Amino acid sequence: MTARPFLVGLIFSLAILSSGPAFALLPYIASETAVPVDRGRSRLDVSFQQTHWNEKPASTRYILRGELSYGLINNLDFSVDAPYAFRKVDGPGDEDGLGDLTLKAKIRFIKGREATPVSIAGQITVKFPSCDEDKFLSEECTGEPDVGIRAIASKEFFPVTVHLNFGYVFVGNPPNSNMDDVLTYSVAFDYLTVADYLHVVGELAGETNRNPNQSEDPLAILAGMLYDVDTDKVLSLTARAGLTKPSPDYGLSVGFRYLF
């Protein structure tokens, strides 16, 4: 068996086993790249995510997420993100439903070149309250819109590319609630291995807690790999672990990207 068919089989096998944020680009928890989709092209990202909380009552959340992006003009793309969530709790209380729809627009201000291989971009996100706020599918399911802004820098140190993200989310408060706005931050990397179709990725992602009664802020790490099927198709497999109490204790995600 050659290396490439073996890796494809490994990824799909792990995907089957694993199936038993924040606004982010696949495969990361919260990070985005500063490079937009090329003008006139589209990108479809589909992922299945599992996150688990051990705190009693223990719960597991599954999210099937689809994101479609389109390069409208040079250095500007638009994306729509639509999740469907399943929440399983020890004992009664299982729920499922459509999550909040998110629209994103990214503009690149500085394009990385050979002499200065760093790209700088800005992004605005708008979360529309399409979820059922009567269900406890996520803390962000408030029935109110959120608006976020983000600064993104991507720099290549071949064979490593690093992404830095800093953002701020203006949180919409539902009636009789007083949630805090959220400051987000993350650093992620993509390492192209000697097998030029296989990438190793990692991330550290955190944010301030929107719940003013919580003393700790969410913070998590991620590690995984990307497999380039060809120039237009990518498979991903990642695992995450929470570093603080508000974060999921652990999680798994598998995904597929298609450029067309």
Q: Where are the domains of the chain?
A: 3-255
Q: What are phi and psi of 15, to 5 degrees?
A: -60, -45
Q: What does the block give as tokens for 7?
A: 């890796």
Predicted confidence at residue 188, as pLDDT, reads 97
Cα angle vertex 234, ends 47, 188, to 5°? 75
State the DSSP code for 212. T
Supply the Cα-derived Rg of the chain in whole angstroms.
Answer: 18
Beta-strand relationship, 42-53 and 250-259 = antiparallel
CATH superfamily of 3-255: monomeric porin ompg (2.40.160.40)
pLDDT digit string (tens) for the chain, length 260 residues: 455 544 444 433 333 333 333 456 789 999 999 999 999 999 999 999 999 999 877 889 999 999 999 999 999 999 999 999 888 887 767 888 888 899 999 999 999 887 788 999 999 999 998 887 666 666 677 778 999 999 999 999 889 999 999 999 999 888 778 889 999 999 999 999 999 899 999 999 999 999 888 889 999 999 999 999 999 999 999 999 999 999 999 999 999 999 99
